């Protein structure tokens, strides 16, 4: 799934500059870490009674949603002024 997200991000060009391949992975990994820390915070603070598997399940559902959004042109329509193919 990470390779699919990388493939879509590598096709995105920001106005006037291109992301390098290393920068693509840095962007993706930073975003995934933010999601992971957010769910870890929710688990520790609010959902300590919930099984860890539930948090992992929600995390992977979010990854699926992100990959779907990146695989369609929806994200490019939303950020039309900043991103282009």
Helices 52-71 & 21-45 angle (0-180, nearest 10): 150
At 30-64, the pLDDT tens digits run 777 887 888 777 766 665 555 666 667 777 787 78
* Count of domains observed in the chain: 1
* pTM of the predicted protein model: 0.34
| Owning domain of residue 33 | 2-84
Secondary structure class of 84 (helix, strand, coil)? strand
In the chain, DSSP assigns E strands to: 13-14, 17-18, 83-84
């Amino acid at each position: 799934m990470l390779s699919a997200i990388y493939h879509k991000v590598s096709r995105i060009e920001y106005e006037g500059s291109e992301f390098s391949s290393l920068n693509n992975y840095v962007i993706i990994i930073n975003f995934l870490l933010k999601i992971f820390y957010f769910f870890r915070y929710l688990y520790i603070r609010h959902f300590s009674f919930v099984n860890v598997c539930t948090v992992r399940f929600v995390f992977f559902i979010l990854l699926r949603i992100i990959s779907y959004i990146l695989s369609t042109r929806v994200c490019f329509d939303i950020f039309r002024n900043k991103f282009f193919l």
